[in-house]
Each structure stands twice: as C-alpha cells, then as structure tokens.
Structure 1
Amino acid sequence: MRVFVTGATGYIGSAVVDALQRASHEVVALVRHQEKARRLADRGVDSAVGTLGNPNTWRTQASSCEAFVHAAFEPSPKGVEIERIALETLIDLARHAAERGPAVLVYTSGIWVLGPAPDPVDETAPLAPVDLVAWRPAHEQWVLDAGGGALRAAVIRPGIVYGGSRGIVSDLLASAENGLMRIVGNGENHWPLVYDRDLADLYARVVASEDGHGVFHGTDGADEQVRAIADAIAAHRPHPPDIRFVPIAEARAKMGPYADALALDQRIRSARSLALGWSPTLHSVSGNIPRLFEELRRGRARREQDQQDS
C-alpha cells in the first residue's frame, strides 16, 4: 500500500516508517523542513513538506495514498486544536480513498487514557484518562466512528516506548550518566513498556491485516516496576547515580499533570495485538540496559552528524 505518515521523523513515527518500508509499503512522510525531506528521499521515502495544522500543505500528496497513519502531536497550547484539524482532513482523505478500494486509518493514542490499572486490563477496559490526555478518548472515538465499508479504522495505544535516544526511558539513561535520576512518586508503580521497533511492527501489521480495525494496545506485558528499572540502570554505571524519589505533590508543582501520568500504576495487556500475530522481541528494560545505553550513544552520534550536515 501507499501509506501517508504524520510525525514521520518523530520518535514513534520514524520507527513506523522503517517498519512500513521493511514490509514493502510505499511511504509518504509529512515533514516540516526540506532538509528532512532530502534525508528521507535518500532512503526512498517521498515527502510532503508542511505543517500538521495546515492540511493545504500536504493534502495533495496524501490523497495519493490508501493508508494513513497519524503518529504526530504538536506539543503546544494549540496542540489539541491542531490535531482536530489534522484528523478532520485525514478522515476525509481516508473516506475518499475507500471509494477507490480498501483503505485504512490508524490513530496513535496512548495507554494513559486507561488511568490507573493495578490489575491487568486489555483493550476492552473502560477509559479513565488522566488530565494530561483527557481529550484523547473523543479523538479515538472520532476515528473509530469513521470506519466502515472499505475503510478500516484503528486506534493504537502504545505503552511507554523505549529504545534509541528519545523518550522517557532514554531520559532516565541520560540522567544516570549525569549522576542523578529523579523518579516521580515512590517507584513502586508499574510502567507498561514497549520497544520502539516492536511497536513499529504492530503498526505495520495493523495496516496490512484485514482484522486491523478497532483498538490495539502496544505493550510487552512485562509489568516492570519503575524502581526496578532505575536500580538496573544505576547498576550499569561505573559510578552509580543518586536516585531521588520525588513526592507527587512536588513533582506536580514543577511538571503539572505530566507528573500524574508518570506516577500511574498500570498493568496493560495487548490481547488484540497478539491475535494479529504481533510478538514483541524484547520484554525487559532492566534486562537490556547495556543495549539501551549503546542505542542512546548511537542516536546522539546520528543527531550530531545530522546537525553538521544541515
């Protein structure tokens, strides 16, 4: 299929582009700058240069596609409004594509829409989003309601993504290198995690499968405790960093509602994803610390090289 991907150079989106290419799909990537388009072109990826909130800059290129993967979010005060604009256009494009033949629309949500889940829950669980993502369930439903006929509509809820040089876990690794790791709360909560390349494979499966409609969780099911992750990272440093557990009230004063999201205790299962044949290759942050430090180093080196080349 020909697949339009928003957020194609972001943390999740860049891994999705790689997975789609491995699956022999053609990719059209939405990027902000011509330099990013040039780098993607070197990898055989077509690009639309534009912004998420101005669909006129990418509608024409996207209209040539049969599949649409929304993996972007603009972290600004207008982020939710911009996403509504982008989703309205993506839904319209997907419906027009479905008039020509089978089409698919995939929306990226997240497991924080589930709220606290101290006991394991899967895709059938009711939603109780934390304040940070209180707007997401409505967007999920908007996408799901668009499905029907030749259009498959899917929502993927990734867990906390690790791997490479970006994301929450990579920030912990970098903090350990600097000698101080801060953990929101007492660290006894569990994070639902997923390796970036495994998550990207789930997207590729949802795009390709006739059963790729509805809600899919992207988590490895390992139920790792945050304190155990921090201890494992610290143990692999030649000079172990200090680990400070920040009271939730103090963290909330500095970080706002993001603090409550980080402190969630969640055990999330991905039953519908596994039914598609998805099988995560990694099931542990704690058991792969040397690998993750190496990926962090390589990712930094690539960014430095990109800055030199631009």
Structure 2
Amino acid sequence: MNVFVTGASGWVGSVVVKELLDAGHQVAGLVRSEDGATKLAAMGGRVVRGTLDDLPTLTRAAEAADAVIHTAFNHDFSKFAQNAQQDRRAIRALANGLRGTGRRLIVTSGAVLVRPGQLATEDMPQEDLSHPRRSEVEARAVEELGVRVSAVRLAPTVHGFGDQGFIPILIDTARRTGVSAYVGDGSNRWPAVHRLDAGRLYRLILEAGDTQFAYHGVAEEGIALKEIAEIIGRRLGLPVQSRGAEHFGWFAPIAAGDFPTSNARTREALQWMPSQPGLLADLDSPAYFRTLTTPAERAGI
C-alpha cells in the first residue's frame, strides 16, 4: 500500500514508518523540519513538507494515498486547547482526501481519555469530554464521509531510549524538587507500551481486515506510580516520598490519575503480542537519566 503518515519523523511516527517500509509498503510522510526530512528520506520515505495547519496539503496527500496514519500532535501543554483544535481540523482535512473511498484512516488518541479510575476496554467510548483533545470524537464524525476510521489509544507512557514524554517529566520534577514523589499511597496506575511495540500495532491495524474502531496501544495494563517513583529515586539518589498533587504543578491531573487499560480485544483481533521490555525494566537503566543533546538522540535513533 501507499501510506501517508503524519508525524513521520516523530517519536511514534518514525517507528510506524520503519514498520511499514520493512513490510514492503510505500510511505509518504509529513515533516516540518529539515532534520525530519533528512531522517525520513534516509529511511526510504517520500517527504511531504508542511504542518498540521497546511490543510490543503493534508487533503492532497490523503487523496494520493491508499491509507492514512495520523500520529502527529503538538504536545506543547501551554497551548493544549489550541493544539487539540488543530488536531481536529487535521483529521477533517485528511478525511476529506479519503472521502467516499472506504479507505482507512487511523488516528491517534489516548488511553487516559477513556474512563479514568476504571479498567478501560476497547468497546468504551471516550468518556472525558471535558478534556480538550477529542481526536476520537472527530474520527467518529468523519465516518459519514465514507471513510473507514480507527483510533489507536496510546498508553500515557510510550517508553524507550529517547523518551520525552511523561516519565522524563517525573524525572525532571524529582531533580528540581529533590524528591521522587508520588501522590497519596502511590497505587494509581499508568498503562505503558514500548514505542517499538506501538509502531508494530499501527501496521497490524492497517493490514487487518478487522473493522474495530478503538485499539489499545497498551502492553502493560497499569503500573503503580509509586513503583515508578522508587526507580527514579534510586537512580537519582533521592528520597521517595508521598506528596500532594500540587507538588507536580500543571502535571498534577496526570500524576494523580488512575488509568488502568485492557488490551485483550486488541491482542485477540490482531494477534498483537508486545515483545519489548516493560516500563520498569526499561526505566531502570542509565539511558533514561542522561541528557539527550543531539537531534538523533532526542528522536530516539
């Protein structure tokens, strides 16, 4: 297949691109920077220069593709609501390019949005509609255009060397405050997935005839925050202590959140068997605690 991938040089998107190319697919990828273009071309993908605001570019690229995988999202939390709107416009533009074809559009969502505090399963709709990111809501809406849509609900922790997500935020907070903290008794759970396992999942969805809407990019159902904090504390030589949610500032809702997530239906539908190291094993290594300086290191390559 000829597949258009947004975020093609990103943390997850670059792994998706490699998975697709290794499986014999052709890939065109949306990239913003020269570094991203160089990285994508070196992998063997065709470069489409632009951003998620270049809606005509997104539509044209989708029109030329057999399928679209949308992994891009601007994670600048200082303007998250604006970025969520940008994401919805991009999904609509991509769907317009696939209009009436029955071709596949795979969007990216988050497991934390489903049903906080309860075990989330693939048949549950997104429950937290107070959250500005509503990728699934837009994905459901564009189905009426004659597009076959699925959503990958990624774990809040997509880990691996070069990780710039939630785990590094905990590490940076520990370094800044002098304590590796958790909230309450630390039993609240974060699901996790290794980026290589996540990349393979997108490919399996693309290649499957299965029509399920939501798939869970989750390898581990839920890891207690206290266990994560203990490894960070040991690695940094800091005390591990309970703190109020306010200790984490703007990150408090995630740090205090309980997001257990099942992947049973995803595994069964796709025969997806995560094989990479789990989060705690991955985290308990020097690589997570060194400063990444080069673009390649920050991209995880």
Whether the TM-score (by the shorter chain) exceeds 0.5 is yes
Q: Which residue of 1 aligns with 2:252?
A: 259
Q: Given that residues 88 and 135 in structure 2 are in contact (C-alpha distance below 8 angstroms), is that contact kept between their aligned partners in structure 1?
A: no
Counterpart pick for 2:154 among 147, 154, 158? 158
Q: Secondary structure of 1:78's partner?
A: helix
Corresponding letter in the other structure for 1:268 = T
Q: Deviations over 1:209-231 (max 9, x none)?
A: 11154111111134211101221
Q: CA deviation at 1:44?
A: 0.8
Q: Alpha carbons of 1:304 and 1:67: their partners in 2 closer, same or farther (altered >3 Å)?
A: closer
Deviation at 1:242, TM superposition (A): 3.0
Gap runs ≥5 in structure 2: none
String of CA shifts for 1:57-96, please: whole Å, max 9, x gaps. 4443443211101111234352133223211111011225
- SS of 1:109's partner is strand
Contact kept? 1:130, 1:261, Cα under 8 Å: no
Amino acid at match of 2:295: R
1:193 deviates by: 0.9
Q: Distance in 2 between matches of 1:17 and 1:259?
A: 33
Number of the residue aligned with 1:71 = 71
Task: Give the counterpart letter for 2:282 in structure 1.
Answer: N
Question: Which residue of structure 2 aligns with residue 243 of structure 1?
Answer: 240
What SS class does the counterpart of residue 292 from structure 2 fall into? helix
Choose 67-76 or 122-131, whichever is displaced more. 122-131
Instruction: Select the residue among 283, 287, 304 that pairs with 2:281.
Output: 287
Query: Hey, what does 1:93 align to over in structure 2?
Result: 97
Q: What's the CA shift for 1:279? A: 0.7
- TM-score normalized with structure 1 length: 0.81
Cα drift, residue 266 of structure 1? 2.1
RMSD: 2.9
Rounded to whole Å, the distance in 2 between the matches of 1:243 and 1:145 is: 51
Alignment of 1:47-58 (within 5 A): 47-58=47-58
Alignment of 1:113-128 (within 5 A): 113-118=113-118, 120-128=119-127
Question: What percentage of residue pairs aligned between the two structures are identical?
Answer: 27
C-alpha displacement of 1:174: 5.5
Contact 2:58 2:93 in 1 (8 A): no
Cα shift at 1:54: 1.6
- CA gap 1:306/1:285 in 2 versus in 1, 3 angstroms: closer
Bigger mean CA offset, 172-181 vs 276-285: 172-181
**Letter of the structure 2 residue corresponding to residue 199 of structure 1:** A
Measured after TM superposition, the shift of residue 155 of structure 1 is: 0.8
1:118-157 to 2 correspondence within 5 Å?
Answer: 118=118, 120-129=119-128, 131-133=130-132, 135-146=134-145, 151-157=147-153
> Is there any run of 5+ residues in structure 1 with no aligned partner, and where?
none
C-alpha displacement of 1:277: 0.8
| CA 1:180–1:190: 2 relative to 1, 3 Å | same
Q: Which residue of 2 aligns with 1:303?
A: 295
Q: 1:50 to 1:288 in 2, by over 3 A?
A: closer
> How many residue pairs were aligned?
291
Deviations 1:180-211 (A, max 9, x none): 43445542201111111111111010011111
